[in-house]
């Protein structure tokens, strides 16, 4: 039995991009794991580490070599390997040479047809892991998701940041290798300031412990993040409040420090008069500080930041951070004061001078299109037209405020605060904020009918305009966030159960655009359907739903997203029934028959021409089921409609067992085709079962 050893790879660099650090760590681990599996190198758990100055992977119990591989090769036919006198030919000799054995050592095998061949059976020894690992590591580094690599010094190597050291340990053995033009060794480095000396790693198992004890480095990203969370929460408690910890900020701070030390700071209480979002954005987004609130949810004039060093004079560190944040908050207070000197509406004319997109006009042009489209959507959302009109007019005015100029992430939020301060009705003021919702996956939807209406119209206008000018997203490029806009429209339609006719609404939005494109409406509908496919299949809202089921429902052309979802759920449930397989097969058969015979099909069924008991029975069952199915369809009860159609299975099976559809008598044939067309028509009112597998 081959031995096993732990393996450690560490890449030491200058400070890595904080927002990319976690992704780089996980990608490195996944690539190494995938390669080991491909190579057949058995191993235990993989652990990854990342700090601002390092990426590392440790593999427990890695096999010292690949397993030996049994080899079987078939050579030339015996008649080709030897001539009539039994002397080996070049074909036979060459095959033996390629196998590394004498011709006499080869075996012979006979195929099922009785043909005899030369064959070779042997064992290929497994390659040592020590020889394979440098290549595995190099390939993993080469395939990391790094948009732009850099060179440094006189080196030809390229990476996201300059590389200064490499650790490559297999057990206690240093693997002789050069990675990114740096010779591998067994020495890592600790904290840049508190433990800058080299630290020898005696074995992979002691790596993170050595860094913690001698290097003042918490190597594990997860452990460091939870340590920061605990420190921030404990510090907030000391301040008499609780910390607001956004996970994205926590990840970013974790990627910035190796040895987290909390620092609590204060700012002047007068800044608490600023809108809450302004304070949070200043502290969180601009300074990477954690805000603190009291038990009632009111912000305290305090913040918590993380230092990457144990300072000998913490008061100086605290004062420095307070000194940095004060002018930021003072600027925000100044902008609010200046912005409030004129009402939001006063900025409306200036929106005509702000470009939205060169071919689609200004923000003012867009607002007028949105207003017209939103007016038609009120019937769907139940919103008040006057409120919607006012909300649309004011929705983009805050783009011209000093606050949004300084804090662009607060567009909508600032406008909402200013509108409320001006005494504008709360639903209209709230809609200015809400029309940007949802901002991303899992974000909240607009809570008011006014906000919902403006949000829908704004997104549909953007989608229609950008598609009309031929700028549909391609690959990862999506500068106008059209995918997010489409998902937002669909989420609002689905989660608010809106009767939003997508084809009709999309056509209206396209018609309002200054650039007319005859293909834009169909292209945009297809674009939305692709997003709807992802939403419905990935959300699990229809258990067992698949791409084939989605296509079957799409063929029926449901107009609204909520109706589409209802059909998908009903069809998914129907396919669990025993009758579904037979009826699906029958629908396929009917579709093929009608496709070939459409020219001869009658427009209606003539009862007098139903000659056989089985076609009479099907016609009778169909006539009895039709009004019940129609009634269920009218109330969008697709499950009941499919249940009733499932009751036709026996009559359908008997029909196909006993009735010849393509009867030589044209009248009988056309009448039977008409009967099948009626049957198929009932099913396709819900979904096209002929598109299902099986």
State the DSSP string of 226-252: HHHHHHHHHHHHHTTSEE---HHHHHH
Angle of CA points 428, 433, 439, to nearest 5°:
145
**Does the pLDDT of residue 534 top 80, yes or no?**
yes
Question: Where are the domains positioned within the chain?
Answer: 4-66+128-215, 69-124, 221-339, 346-539, 569-691
pLDDT above 60: residue 525? yes
Instruction: Compute the average pLDDT of residues 198-226.
Output: 97
Mean pLDDT for 610-618 is 94
The two structure tokens encoding residue 649: 């299975």
Structure tokens at 13: 């660099």
Q: Which pLDDT score is estimated for 600?
A: 52
The pLDDT of residue 542: 64
Per-residue pLDDT at 385 exceeds 60? yes
32 pLDDT above the threshold of 90: yes
Asked whether residue 598 carries a pLDDT value surpassing 70, the answer given is no
Q: Candidates 3.30.70.260, 3.40.50.300, 1.20.140.10, 3.40.50.1820; correct CATH number of 4-66+128-215? A: 3.30.70.260
Residue 1 clears pLDDT 60, i.e. is over it: no
Judging by beta carbons within 10 Å of its beta carbon (0-12, 13-18, 19+), is residue 370 exposed, middle or buried?
A: buried
DSSP 326-382: HHHHHHHHHHHHHHTTS-GGGGTGGGGGSEEETTTEEHHHHHHHHHHHHHHHHHHH-
Tokens of 53: 């100055």
User: 510 near 457, Cβ under 8 Å?
Assistant: no
Query: In the chain, what percentage of residues exceed pLDDT 70?
Result: 98
| Contact in structure between 105 and 96 (CB atoms under 8 Å) | yes
How does residue 375 score in pLDDT terms, banded at 50, 70 and 90? very high
- The first and second tokens of residue 391, run together, are 């909300």
Tell me the mean pLDDT in the region 369-374: 98
The region of weakest confidence among 83-87, 210-214, 331-335, 612-616 is 83-87
Q: Please tell me the pTM assigned to this model.
A: 0.80
Q: What is the pLDDT of residues 463-506, one digit of tens each?
A: 999 999 999 998 778 989 999 999 999 999 999 999 999 999 99
CA 347 to CA 386: how far, in whole Å?
20
To which residue do tokens 């229609």 refer? 464
Tell whether the model's pLDDT for residue 99 goes beyond 90: no
- Tokens found for residue 264: 């609590």
Lowest-confidence pick of 48-62, 250-264, 676-690: 676-690
Average pLDDT, the chain: 93
pLDDT beyond 70 at 694: no
pLDDT higher than 70, residue 541: no
pLDDT band at 442 (very low <50, low <70, confident <90, very high): confident
Strands (E), 114-186: 116-124, 163-170, 173-174, 178-179, 182-183
pLDDT digits (tens, 9 = 90+) for 618-662: 999 999 999 999 999 999 999 999 999 999 999 999 999 999 998
More confident residue, 593 or 433: 433
- Rounded mean pLDDT, 68-96: 88
Label residue 277 by pLDDT band (50, 70, 90): very high
Give long-range contacts, CB 8 A cutoff, 24+ apart: 412-418: 412/436, 413/275, 413/277, 414/275, 414/277, 414/278, 414/339, 415/344, 417/275, 417/277, 418/339, 418/340, 418/343, 418/344
Report phi then psi at 690, rounded to 5. -65, -15
Mean pLDDT, residues 572-598 taken together: 87
Residue 602: pLDDT band (50, 70, 90) is: low
Of the chain, the end-to-end C-alpha distance in Å amounts to 48
Q: pLDDT band at residue 122, thresholds of 50, 70 and 90?
A: confident
Using an 8 Å Cβ cutoff, are 598 and 642 in contact? no
> What confidence category does residue 597 fall into, taking pLDDT thresholds of 50, 70 and 90?
confident
Is 414 buried (19+), middle (13-18) or exposed (0-12) by CB count in 10 A? buried
Q: Give 100's pLDDT tier (boundaries 50, 70, 90).
A: confident
Average pLDDT over residues 259-282: 95
Instruction: Flag the least confident range among 80-84, 170-174, 185-189.
Output: 80-84
Which pLDDT band holds residue 440 (cuts at 50, 70, 90)?
confident
Asked if the model's pLDDT at residue 2 lies above 70, the reply is no
Collapsed DSSP state (helix, strand, coil) of residue 116 = strand
Average pLDDT score over residue span 359-363: 97
Pick the CATH number of 346-539 from 3.30.200, 3.30.70, 1.10.3470, 1.10.3210: 1.10.3210
Q: What is the pLDDT of residues 292-342, one digit of tens each?
A: 999 999 999 999 999 999 999 999 999 999 999 999 999 999 999 999 999
560, pLDDT greater than 80: yes
**Alpha-carbon gap, residue 465 to 366, rounded angstroms:** 9
Residue in 167, 169, 166 with CA at minimum distance from that of residue 203: 169
- Determine the average pLDDT of the residues in 64-79: 87
**Is residue 681 packed enough to be buried (19+ CB in 10 Å), middle (13-18) or exposed (0-12)?**
exposed
Instruction: Tell me the Ramachandran region of residue 540: left when phi exceeds 0, alpha when psi lies from -120 to 50, beta otherwise.
Output: left
How many other C-beta atoms lie within 10 A of the C-beta of residue 436?
A: 21
The structure tokens 């009988």 sit at 668
pLDDT of 166 over the 60 cut: yes
> Which residue is associated with the tokens 């209206």?
508
CATH number of the 569-691 domain: 1.10.730
């Amino acid at each position: 039995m081959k031995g096993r050893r732990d393996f450690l790879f560490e890449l030491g660099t200058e400070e890595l991009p904080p927002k990319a650090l976690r992704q780089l760590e996980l990608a490195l681990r996944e690539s190494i794991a995938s390669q080991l599996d491909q190579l057949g190198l058995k191993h235990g758990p993989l652990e990854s580490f990342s700090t601002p100055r390092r990426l590392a992977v440790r593999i427990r119990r890695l096999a010292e070599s690949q397993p030996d591989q049994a080899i079987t090769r078939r050579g030339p036919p015996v008649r080709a390997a030897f001539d009539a006198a039994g002397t080996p030919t070049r074909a036979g000799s060459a095959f033996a040479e390629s196998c590394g054995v004498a011709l006499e050592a080869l075996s012979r095998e006979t195929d099922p047809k009785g043909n005899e061949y030369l064959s070779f059976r042997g064992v290929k020894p497994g390659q040592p892991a020590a020889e394979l690992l440098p290549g595995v590591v190099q390939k993993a580094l080469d395939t990391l998701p790094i948009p732009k690599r850099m060179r440094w010094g006189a080196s030809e190597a390229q990476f996201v940041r300059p590389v200064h050291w490499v650790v490559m340990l297999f057990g206690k053995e240093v693997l002789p290798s050069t990675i990114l033009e740096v010779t591998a060794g067994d020495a890592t480095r600790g904290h840049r300031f508190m433990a800058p000396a080299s630290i020898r790693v005696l074995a992979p198992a002691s790596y993170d412990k050595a860094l913690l004890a001698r290097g003042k480095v918490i190597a594990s990203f997860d452990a460091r993040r939870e340590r920061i969370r605990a420190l921030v929460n404990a510090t907030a408690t000391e301040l008499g409040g609780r910390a607001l910890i956004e996970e994205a900020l926590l990840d970013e701070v974790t990627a910035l420090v190796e040895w987290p030390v909390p620092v609590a700071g204060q700012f002047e209480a007068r800044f608490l008069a600023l809108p809450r979002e302004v304070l949070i954005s200043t502290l969180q987004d601009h300074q990477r500080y954690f805000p603190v609130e009291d038990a009632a949810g009111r912000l305290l004039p305090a913040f918590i930041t993380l230092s990457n060093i144990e300072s000998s004079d913490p008061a100086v560190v605290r004062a420095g951070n307070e000194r940095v944040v004060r002018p930021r908050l003072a600027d925000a207070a100044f902008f609010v004061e200046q912005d409030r000197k004129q009402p939001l509406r006063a900025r409306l004319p200036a929106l005509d001078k702000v470009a939205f997109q060169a071919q689609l006009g200004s923000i003012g042009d867009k607002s007028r299109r949105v207003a017209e489209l939103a007016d038609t959507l009120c019937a769907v959302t139940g919103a008040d037209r006057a409120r919607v009109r006012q909300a649309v007019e004011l929705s983009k005015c805050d783009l011209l405020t000093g606050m949004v100029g300084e804090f662009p992430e607060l567009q909508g939020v600032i406008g909402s605060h200013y509108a409320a301060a001006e005494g504008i009705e709360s639903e209209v003021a709230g809609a200015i904020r809400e029309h940007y919702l949802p901002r991303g996956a899992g974000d909240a939807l607009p809570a008011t009918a006014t906000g919902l209406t403006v949000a829908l119209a704004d997104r549909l206008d953007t989608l229609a305009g950008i598609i009309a000018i031929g700028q549909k997203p391609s690959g990862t490029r999506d500068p106008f966030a059209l995918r997010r806009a489409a998902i937002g429209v669909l989420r609002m339609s689905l989660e608010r159960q809106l009767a939003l006719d997508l084809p009709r609404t999309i056509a209206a939005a396209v018609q309002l655009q200054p650039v007319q494109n005859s293909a834009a409406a169909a292209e945009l509908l297809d674009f939305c359907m692709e997003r709807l496919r992802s939403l419905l299949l990935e959300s699990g809202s229809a258990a067992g739903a698949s791409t084939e089921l989605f296509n079957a429902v799409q063929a029926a052309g449901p107009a609204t997203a909520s109706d589409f979802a209802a059909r998908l759920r009903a069809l998914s449930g129907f396919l669990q029934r025993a009758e579904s397989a037979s009826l699906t097969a029958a629908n396929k058969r009917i579709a093929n028959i009608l496709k070939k015979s459409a020219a001869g099909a009658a427009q209606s069924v003539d009862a007098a021409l139903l000659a056989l008991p089985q076609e009479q029975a099907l016609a009778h069952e169909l006539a009895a089921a039709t009004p019940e199915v129609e009634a269920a369809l009218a109330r969008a009860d697709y499950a009941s409609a499919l249940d009733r159609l499932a009751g036709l299975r026996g009559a359908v099976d008997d029909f196909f067992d006993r009735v010849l559809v393509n009867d030589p008598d044209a009248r009988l044939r056309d009448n039977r085709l008409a009967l099948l067309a009626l049957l198929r028509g009932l099913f396709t009112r819900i979904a096209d079962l002929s598109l299902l597998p099986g």
